[in-house]
Structure 1
Amino acid sequence: MKLLPALALVLASASAQATVITYNFSGVFGAPVRASFGGATSPEPVFLDLVKAGEQFSGSFSFDTDAVATSYAGDPFRWATYATQEFKLQGSAALSAAVPSWGVGSIQVTDDNDPWMSGNPVDELIATAGAAPDGQHNLSFVLRMNPGSSNAFHDFRVPAGFNGFTDATLSFYLFHSEVFVYDIVNAQVKVSLDGAPAEVPEPATGLLLLAGLGGLAALRRRR
């Protein structure tokens, strides 16, 4: 019976953990196109030649599945957003040189989202990130991932080991802020979970784990 307190400490430490997961993505860019507000024009190359049709790209993003939502919406929109812990994108040499790093993005988890009241609610995971290569341009990255089921993300949470996306699409925007022109390129994307979920004990739970193991060792010595 004396083993029970020590075992309880070990079990408590194992249950109170933060789970950070990483998804990898890759694809091939389509042809960039230009649009504008009010007929504005720009002499600059479409997408500043940072992205061209047929170029391969890859990247990853990480987030904590147990994090507190930074914002949320109720019926009928039903989504919650969380901050990404890391976002990476590798493309052409020109793109990597223009954007060596990306700012902290966001993760939007939709659960039975049906804003048009169509009777066909859907779940979806949306990863976004942004960067400013200079004072005249801004980049926006939007990756939409479909789990193929409206029961995938219950209570706006992505299960730690979820790896069942049926399709994913990328929309990549470049805004020419001074002339109100924007360029866009789309792509089909493959998304996969990066190995097993990484269980990261919180500092306090790590101490509990050590205390529990210490208690077990002490009881063994007494016997």
Structure 2
Amino acid sequence: MTFTEFKILFKKHQGCITEVNHHFSDYYTAKVAVEKGFTWAAGEYAYFTLKDERVKGRPFRELSIASIPEDGYVLLGFRTGETPSSYKQFIIDHGVNAEISIRGPIGDFKLRDDKRPVVLFAAGVGITPIFSILKSIRSNQQREVYVVYPSSQHHLFKKEIDSIADKNPKIHLSYMHKSEEAQAKLTELAKKLGNEAYYYTAGSGRVIKSIRNLLKGLGIQKNNMLNDHFEGYK
């Protein structure tokens, strides 16, 4: 975290949850109306604190933002696992109209401003920041974008992502359910694009470590790899 980002965290913004949706299995999204003046860049994350004493344990979560400022709201995506935390259970049961404070946004999981190809690897609900990035470049046809999206069961935001790709021939989608298929696709792309591309990975710490090791073994340099560890999604 940079000194500038550290200072940003001292400023608190106010929001209110307006909508909570259950998509499938343990996948949920929540829309947050935010105060005027709050903005962010695609791929950034923030700290979200529920202002309710009924939330046990940590009242905050570190979550990436799935929407873009033009949407007019903050969109969050998360999974609950078999046993939801008090934080997530509260959102599911009482989230609509609940007040929430926001610190941030911060993070360097953002597109670099040039025309080099981009490989976006999203494991499961790690699609959250990558969905935001895709929305931000949906009309930009100046660079090739490859999305590798493995998920054991469901692909969150698939319909919306398909719609974006249908209108932009520079965006190439690869959905799969097995990690072996995802690694094979990533290997194919790394051999094809080499260090002429940027490689973005969003997922658990275990997934990120595995992908970084794979790319390193294929000769991809460290400065061409960017990661988003979705600690708060679990």
Q: TM class, shorter-chain normalised?
A: under 0.3
After TM superposition, the score normalised by the length of structure 1 is 0.24
After TM superposition, the score normalised by the length of structure 2 is 0.23
Q: Which has the higher contact order (CA 8 A, sep 6+)?
A: 1
Q: Could you say which structure has the larger radius of gyration?
A: 1
More strand by share: 1
